[in-house]
Amino acid sequence: MRRLFVLLALVLAPYMTAAQSEEIVLGLSRNEVAITATFDGSDVLIFGAIKRNAPAPAGGPLEVIITLAGPDQPVTVRRKERVLGIWANTDAVEVDSAPSFYAVATSAPLADSLSAVEDLRHSISIPRVIRSVGAPDSVTDAESFSDAIIRIRAGSGLYQRLEGQVDVEEETLFRGQITLPAALTEGAYSARIFITRDRTVIDTYETEIAVFKAGLERFLFEMSRNQPLLYGLMSLAIAIAAGWLASAVFRIFQR
């Protein structure tokens, strides 16, 4: 009986330590982002601590990876080609799902803190979060279409790779900052935190940040969707009134 218990402890020990010995406790500077008329981007500070029941285990240094992802959307990527001397869209690939925003911040270079297998399992690096299933037969290099999404969105600050920008102190406290650009889509943004040792994920934590339009922005958006005719007429009324007003003002000045 006693021997069995020891055996069980021996078998379970690695799992116990892996799952329980180091755990993430998280804080967020904000759990919602309100987009108002003067919205000009926003910083989200993600910070936390590692809770331990035992001294830090031996092995490689502790690394922290923080990701923040906007809502997934299907997108169509088109490629231009020269046809009879003219540049025209030819091939198109429908990408099933790509996040509207994605940032990955790490405490060390991504390749040093995460193995390819773990990346595949948890979908952490930018190429891993874009899901493209079916490209038409005419397209042989579907990969280059996914690369194009990353290149274009990285160019406009929507995809960010922030290596070495998470501070870790004493293997216990960590903090990272992600800047949301001004051109933001509404929705639930999911923040994920991974701690790794020896390129293996030890613990993960997931939370949500709500991004929504507020105030006048909300009112106008709702109106354009719920009462489109009224919204259209209102737009026209504003246009006519502005046209008349300018004319009237100029007439006064002319006298």
Partner 1 sequence: MQVYLPIAEVSVNAFLLLGLGGIVGILSGMFGVGGGFLMTPLLFFIGIPPAVAVATEANQIVASSFSGVLAHLRRKTVDLRMGTVLLIGGLIGAALGVMLFNQLKSMGQVDLLVKLCYVVFLGIIGGLMFIESLNAIRRSRGAEGAVPQRRKHGLVHALPFKMKFRVSGLYISVIPPLLVGLCVGILAAIMGVGGGFIMVPAMIYLLGMPTKVVIGTSLFQIIFVTGFTTLLHATTNFTVDIVLAVLLLVGGVIGAQIGTRIGVKMKAEQLRILLAIMVLAVCGKLALDLLLTPAELYSIGTAGGH
- Point out which residues bind partner 1 (CB under 8 A): 35-41, 73-82, 85-89, 94-95, 144-145, 148-149, 151-153, 156, 182-186, 213, 216-218, 220-221, 224-225, 228-229, 231-236, 238-240, 242-247, 250-251
By beta-carbon proximity to partner 1, the closer residue of 117 and 233 is: 233
Half-sphere exposure of 85 (CA within 13 A, CB side): 0
Shortest spacing between CB 143 and partner 1, in angstroms: 12
Shortest spacing between CB 81 and partner 1, in angstroms: 8
Euclidean distance between CA atoms 107 and 175, whole angstroms:
9
Instruction: Tell me, rounded to whole angstroms, the distance of Cα 255 from its chain centroid.
Output: 58
Shortest spacing between CB 66 and partner 1, in angstroms: 24
By beta-carbon proximity to partner 1, the closer residue of 15 and 250 is: 250
Going by C-alpha positions, the residue among 194, 190, 170, 158 that lies closest to residue 56 is 170
By beta-carbon proximity to partner 1, the closer residue of 29 and 73 is: 73
Euclidean distance between CA atoms 66 and 28, whole angstroms:
12
Shortest spacing between CB 189 and partner 1, in angstroms: 14
By beta-carbon proximity to partner 1, the closer residue of 11 and 249 is: 249
Shortest spacing between CB 214 and partner 1, in angstroms: 10
Q: Which residues 6+ apart lie within 8 Å of 164 measured at CB?
A: 106, 107, 108, 109
Going by C-alpha positions, the residue among 65, 81, 179 that lies closest to residue 129 is 65
By beta-carbon proximity to partner 1, the closer residue of 2 and 251 is: 251
Would you give the DSSP letter of residue 127?
H
